[in-house]
Structure 1
């Protein structure tokens, strides 16, 4: 079992990251290292089932709390949370452990970072496995403008853009915040149909949080005692650093232009696995349609009836899908 109260602290790329490590030493096995990247509002603890499983079958595995999260460094200013910084942190992490290349697995924001690693630090990447958020084409306009035009000013990512606007709401009662976010489909509407974790289609998640538990839908993802890991981490970090990741989406889109060939990103020629979740309202499976044209070789696995927090809600199926893919290509 991984001790999530006692990380290693690694200095990398000008910041310090708490890192949770398991399995054999990197130099003592011919199996590839696997690096797990959490999303928002998560921490390395979200990968507990994967760290246990893959370490037990002989892989060296690591999962950091990334910059701005938990006990990591929290540099001031959104300019310190660009994709260049986030990918540089991971290259430095590999340097620290003497790893030339690794398999990267990412969920949610971790998947957004994951799919950019072949462009930013491609020589360090053996393969990519993304959960819920796919590799996407370069958008014709910046994504914040797209969200604002299609979903309105109340869409949560649009609301996150103003520093200081959402932090007080999210930090007011951390237990309620995590009971709100960390939900899975369930409950139903009396007709036997499983409900989404969030029924609202506008993705105005901040207003939904404020509406109270009766409005949320779904059911709690984990026992409340496990929420303590999240509550403790965000008591330490707050939400400003994590929200700065969102506040660089337009800047990251602009920076991505450096990799374009014509108007397209080059094909990722590394083994790629995409795991979708049928009941994910924010990141529906159709976002991954056509991804086979963007990377090769490509594998897709669809989780039926699963919500957004897929590696926790369906840990066994996710572990088996990733392990099967690794055995095929590495």
Structure 2
């Protein structure tokens, strides 16, 4: 694998974003640029296999440590992490690199941002490819209240809402935290012990505190790779990353301005959705509505794969995106 590059520090939209680049210059490339968006609790490094494969295939590729993560700025206050702010950061990066339009690929929270881009900056998109988290219809009620009513107060997104309450738990032992999050199902099989939380509560923080014997599954990455995450999170901690969750309600309210007759308008640009059948947090069933929400839609289902699909099944993810991108 090509060595992981040193980040370029780009100042835009009031913050400085660390951007990892590989491949040819945009002006010299015959293939479209690709921007990879990481999720929680990740960093641009999560895309190392995709960055290598697509740069070697001739694409200019970019992976930012997004606002609040990695080497990038982590401004204070939840209001600095709205969807408008996060998408404006990406628009600023395109402007900085002279990119008129790009293909965006997102995983987990990066996919939530990805599926917002067609509404916040449609003029800058060639296509959208999402991993594990699909485009969802507009929630019928405040999502935090909906999560609380369905899963209870211990549900991780509900617990994340209180600033300062969760950070000490996640930051107590960073290696332990990332060994907890970055796991895969044992031998790619759906076993009860592989479920990474109590299904009724989704109390990830409680499970983290119970220790490895309760986690199920197996460690996805080597200790050396896991240490990259732990070391990187020493800079900003988890507050900025958790602020993304603390804007669920504000983003839901802001999304209303895009609704037509109470619904999000149908997407017309090329869309790819990659699901993983052993992803307990985001099972493939939640992607079912996408077929009716996108006109130019491709879906690929990975069998025997958990949540961290671009790292767990890099070759399959790369092949799916390669085949899709060749048609757009």
Deviation at 1:193, TM superposition (A): 4.7
8 Å CA contact 1:37–1:64 kept in 2: the answer is yes
Give a deviation string over 1:33-73, Cα, whole Å, max 9, x none. 00000000000000000000000111110000000001101
8 Å CA contact 1:277–1:310 kept in 2: the answer is yes
8 Å CA contact 1:187–1:217 kept in 2: the answer is no
Alignment partner, residue 310 of structure 1: 309
Alignment partner, residue 67 of structure 1: 67
Give a deviation string over 1:133-187, Cα, whole Å, max 9, x none. 0001111101111100000000000000000000000000001000100000006
SS of structure 2 residue aligned to 1:70:
coil
SS of structure 2 residue aligned to 1:79:
helix
8 Å CA contact 2:31–2:59 kept in 1: the answer is yes
List structure 1 runs of 4+ shifted beyond 2 angstroms.
Answer: 1-5, 192-197
Alignment partner, residue 156 of structure 2: 156
Instruction: Report the Cα distance in structure 2 between the residues aligned to 1:199 and 1:247, rounded to whole angstroms.
Output: 21
Q: Determine if the alignment matches structure 1 residue 322 to structure 2 residue 321.
A: yes
Q: Determine if the alignment matches structure 1 residue 118 to structure 2 residue 121.
A: no
Deviation at 1:232, TM superposition (A): 1.2
Alignment partner, residue 236 of structure 1: 235
Which of 185, 188, 196 is residue 198 of structure 1 equivalent to?
A: 196
Q: Determine if the alignment matches structure 1 residue 13 to structure 2 residue 13.
A: yes
Alignment of 1:64-213 (within 5 A): 64-186=64-186, 193=191, 195-196=193-194, 198=196, 200-201=198-199, 202-213=201-212
Judging changes above 3 Å, is the alpha-carbon distance between structure 1 residues 188 and 316 closer, same or farther for their aligned structure 2 residues? closer
Judging changes above 3 Å, is the alpha-carbon distance between structure 1 residues 323 and 76 closer, same or farther for their aligned structure 2 residues? same
Alignment partner, residue 23 of structure 2: 23
- For these two proteins, the number of residue pairs brought into alignment is 327
Alignment partner, residue 292 of structure 1: 291
Alignment partner, residue 283 of structure 1: 282
SS of structure 1 residue aligned to 2:24:
coil
Instruction: Report the Cα distance in structure 2 between the residues aligned to 1:123 and 1:261, rounded to whole angstroms.
Output: 19
Instruction: Report the Cα distance in structure 2 between the residues aligned to 1:153 and 1:197, rounded to whole angstroms.
Output: 19
Query: What TM-score do you get using the length of structure 1 for normalisation?
Result: 0.96
8 Å CA contact 1:18–1:71 kept in 2: the answer is yes
Alignment partner, residue 221 of structure 2: 222
SS of structure 1 residue aligned to 2:16:
strand
Deviation at 1:30, TM superposition (A): 2.3
Deviation at 1:203, TM superposition (A): 1.1
Judging changes above 3 Å, is the alpha-carbon distance between structure 1 residues 161 and 319 closer, same or farther for their aligned structure 2 residues? same
Give a deviation string over 1:101-160, Cα, whole Å, max 9, x none. 000000000000000000000100110000000001111101111100000000000000
8 Å CA contact 1:171–1:177 kept in 2: the answer is yes
Judging changes above 3 Å, is the alpha-carbon distance between structure 1 residues 138 and 179 closer, same or farther for their aligned structure 2 residues? same
8 Å CA contact 1:186–1:197 kept in 2: the answer is no
Worse-matched range after superposition: 101-110 or 291-300? 291-300
8 Å CA contact 1:198–1:216 kept in 2: the answer is yes
Give a deviation string over 1:202-238, Cα, whole Å, max 9, x none. 3100000000000000000011111111011100110
Deviation at 1:4, TM superposition (A): 3.8
Instruction: Report the Cα distance in structure 1 between the residues aligned to 2:296 and 2:171, rounded to whole angstroms.
Output: 42
Q: Provide structure 1 residue ranges, at least 5 long, that are not aligned to the other structure.
A: none
SS of structure 2 residue aligned to 1:276:
strand
Give RMSD over aligned pairs: 1.5
Alignment partner, residue 244 of structure 2: 245
Instruction: Report the Cα distance in structure 1 between the residues aligned to 2:92 and 2:118, rounded to whole angstroms.
Output: 15
